[in-house]
Amino acid sequence: MENTTVVCVSADLPFAAARFCGAEGLDQVVTGSTFRSSFGDDYGVVLVDGPTAGLMSRAVVVLDTDGTVLYTEQVPEIRQEPDYDAAIAALV
């Protein structure tokens, strides 16, 4: 999409995330890593209970060029994917 930047933040090491994006043809995706980072705590996405405690939940945040939040979703179950169509719809 024109005038759009996709940033993917994961617990993967930076080289692993870059390798995945390259293999999947995601050359326009900017990757970030939470390895040795407080990102999950800072953004409130660290799971605190159950067998997945310490992992981050899946979340989508859509911002406009001014930094205004247009859409946000944090899924309740780690196996669940966010509603990507709703996130994209927030851009148009």
pLDDT for res 77: 84
Domain boundaries, the chain: 9-57, 60-91
Tell which phi-psi region holds residue 54, choosing left (phi > 0), alpha (psi between -120 and 50) or beta.
left
88 phi and psi angles, rounded to 5 deg: -65, -40
SS3 49: coil
Residue 71 tokens read as: 């859409």
**Does pLDDT of 16 surpass 80?**
yes
| Contact of 55 with 78, CB cutoff 8 Å | yes
pLDDT tens readout for residues 43-79: 889 988 889 888 899 999 999 889 999 999 999 888 8
| CA atoms within 13 A of residue 76's CA, in its CB half-sphere | 0
| Contact of 40 with 34, CB cutoff 8 Å | yes
Residue 55 tokens read as: 């992992």
Confidence of residue 11 (pLDDT cuts 50, 70, 90): confident
